[in-house]
Structure 1
Amino acid sequence: MKILKIPFLLIWRVWFYLLIIVTIILMAPFLLILTAKEKYYGMFWKMVRVWAKFLIFAMGFRLSIQNDQELECDKSYMFCPNHASLMDPFVLIALSKNPIVFVGKQEFVKIPVFGFFYKRVVIMVDRSNPESRKRVYEKAKQKLQNGTSMAIFPEGLVPTENVILAPFKNGAFSLAIEFGIPIVPQVYYDCKRFFSWDFFKGRPGVFRVRQHKFIATKDLKINDKEALKQQTFELIYNDLVNDSKYMKDTNRPNNEREFKSPI
């Protein structure tokens, strides 16, 4: 039966990339205008949210959200979801009415068409370059105003199927403390199950998302970043290992739930 599904999976996957390419080309004139000046970013975000929702819907997915705490429109946050699928950024964009600035990898600039607009709206970082990391702070300070938030996938890119939750990097937690903005831990249970890195796996379905209560950083010092990182890691990790559907698709037995420290 699995062999019979392969042609349909390939068509479905190709459909995803065609959707992205065609919609970006169609939106290009508007994106050129809305990414030209910082004051247009709010309108840009509304357009991108519609785009993200359309892509999720057109791929046969739906969203089921559990919010332990609601966002306030005039406040800034640091969003920290787990990351195990190409669909993760689209889910994050679709969920947030607050404009979000992503901190992303410089390598994505090389992607044709997408890369052109990516470099105009994303704070790019080269983790191997200390000077690049310093520039992230400067650019973030400029953008974190009028309710604009930030988003960093603290694991980085996780292509392997058997990883429950990869060790977190420091960037999100250092920035959150630096600017006194709360961490918003989000748990994506199903993106990996339904749209994994494996081209021959996946299907339409419901993406369950849990947004935990926010973790305050206002009174923290930079030396507290390790404890903050550990707290966020444990919160997301415990949710994932206690979800039988997620664990089934990590290619690991449920009894292998040893904690892996992010430090």
Structure 2
Amino acid sequence: MRENNNSSKKLAHNGWKWFWLPFRLLWRAWFYTTIFIAIVLVFPFITVLSLRPEWYRYFFWFERIWAYVVTFLTGFIPVIKNRHYIDRNKQYIITANHTSMMDIMMTLIAVPNTFLFIGKKELAKYPLFGYYYRRTNILVDRQSLSSKKNVYWKAAEKIAQGYSVCIYPEGGVPDESIELAPFKMGAFKLAVETSTDILPISFPRTKRHFPYSVFKGRPGILTAIVHPPIEVSKLRYVEETDLRDKTFQIILSGLRSES
């Protein structure tokens, strides 16, 4: 009897799964449409402001507007917890888990400080979005050792100019079954070398609501949990590995707090 009940539940679940599939595919298509719509809305401003590096602070303001527009039009409500931990007058190396394209929008919404992404060069291939992404952020070819070294020095240079930088330390998008992939060392070496505080952020809902799998996801509330910064600038001596492990545990605790 129990086996029959389980089989019936499984059939019902699969039936609903196939029923919602075309709606999910349309919703995904709408997501990319919203990206285009949002860029068109701010196009005159971001085109001019992307021409000169010293205007990036103003470009960033419109970049945040773009993130809000995409998020709301896609059917998400962003909720930022503990934003008071962020000092708007300080620079940070922003670190967060990365399992969804919505992580980019949520990072822009969560952090008011002007920052640049350090991201994979493949994003530059997207029409229109890629043009601005390439001109205003730091791109890395993960297959090239020289590219990684150049990115490190470019990031240090931007920090010296007064900008924060965002690095997703998992170094790629892990499999959906992985709660949090091991962190690469780049962000933490940069923090120690430049004496820049680390700002950990957890995104516990983005993988559930908008995973990279086009057959999954749904609109809803997206949460960003801002953790107290790790004040590297006040530490006389710190091991990069200890910094990496501490950041990993902080972000993981945020993911599990809403699991």
TM over 0.5: yes
Match of 2:133 in 1: 118
Deviations along 1:58-86, whole A, 9 cap, x unmatched?
11111222217522222100110111111
Q: Give the 4+ runs in structure 1 shifted more than 3 A.
A: 25-29
Moved more, 234-243 or 207-216: 234-243
Aligned residues with identical type, % of pairs: 38
1:156-212: CA deviation from partner (whole Å, max 9, x where unpaired): 222522110001111111111111111111111111111111212111111122111
2:241 is aligned with 1:217? no
Aligned equivalents of 2:160, 2:88: Cα separation in 1: 12
Alpha-carbon distance in 1 for matches of 2:250, 2:56: 32
Query: What letter corresponds to residue 148 of structure 1 in structure 2?
Result: Y
1:79 alignment counterpart: 94
The answer to whether residue 202 in structure 2 is matched with residue 184 in structure 1 is no
Q: 1:11 to 1:149 in 2, by over 3 A?
A: same
* Corresponding letter in the other structure for 2:85: E
Tell me: CA distance 1:147–1:72, structure 2 relative to 1, closer, same or farther (3 Å). Answer: farther
State which structure, 1 or 2, has the greater radius of gyration over its C-alpha atoms.
Answer: 2
- Tell me the residue number matched to 2:32: 17
Amino acid at match of 1:177: V
Give 2:54's aligned amino acid: K
Out of 237, 242, 248, the residue aligned to residue 233 of structure 1 is 248
Q: Which structure is higher in helix share? A: 2
Tell me which residue corresponds to 2:180. 165
Tell whether the 8 Å contact from 1:69 to 1:212 is kept in structure 2 after alignment: no
Which of 131, 134, 145 pairs up with 1:130? 145
Cα distance, 1:25 vs. partner? 4.0
Unmatched segments (≥5 aa) in structure 2: 1-15
Partner of 1:261: none
User: Which sections of structure 1, spanning at least 5 residues, go unmatched?
Assistant: 247-263
Q: Please identify, of 57-66 and 180-189, the stretch whose mean Cα deviation from structure 2 is larger.
A: 57-66
Structure 2 distance, partners of 1:61, 1:171, is: 32
Name the amino acid aligned to 1:176: A
Contact residue 164 and residue 241 of structure 1 kept, 8 A: no
Per-residue deviation, 1:217: 1.3
Q: Which of 203, 222, 230 does residue 207 from structure 1 map onto?
A: 222
Contact 1:177–1:220, Cα closer than 8 Å, also in 2: no
Normalising by structure 2, we get a TM-score of 0.87
Contact 1:99 1:149 in 2 (8 A): yes
Partner letter of residue 238 of structure 1?
S
2:121 is aligned, of 91, 97, 106, to: 106
Distance 1:33 1:72 in 2: 29
Partner of 2:54: 39
State the match for 1:61 in structure 2: 76
Displacement, 1:150? 0.6
Q: Distance in 2 between matches of 1:220 and 1:4?
A: 59
